[in-house]
Amino acid sequence: MKKILLICNEGMSTGFLCNKMNDYAQQQGLDIHAWAIPESALEGHYREADIVLLGPQIGYLMASIRKRVQDTLPVAAISPIDFGRINAQAVVEQALSLIDGQ
């Protein structure tokens, strides 16, 4: 199972996207699980994940978050367009390509 952690300021705006990502994965027969948390809870959750995706509103924290996860997994920002459109397929594909490209 691929585990995708989404983070944003409070974990709320990414929560809806996570639900759509999990629905999309189930429809496609993909073995993934996505969940969302606030950025402040990162340390308690990143070790469970295969990738950390940032909501576009906190993309500016990418370098800091990479340090906080000690470069143990990929960290990337979600495209503002995909995020705004809640394009679950595009975000799942982004995550899987980054996980597989390690």
Asked if 8 is an active-site residue, the reply is: yes
The active-site residue, picked from 4, 5, 6, 8, is: 8
Output 38-45 pairs: Cβ under 8 A, ≥24 positions apart. 38/7, 38/8, 38/9, 38/10, 38/11, 39/7, 39/8, 39/9, 39/65, 41/7, 41/11, 42/7, 42/68, 42/69, 43/68, 45/5
Q: Which residues are catalytic?
A: 8
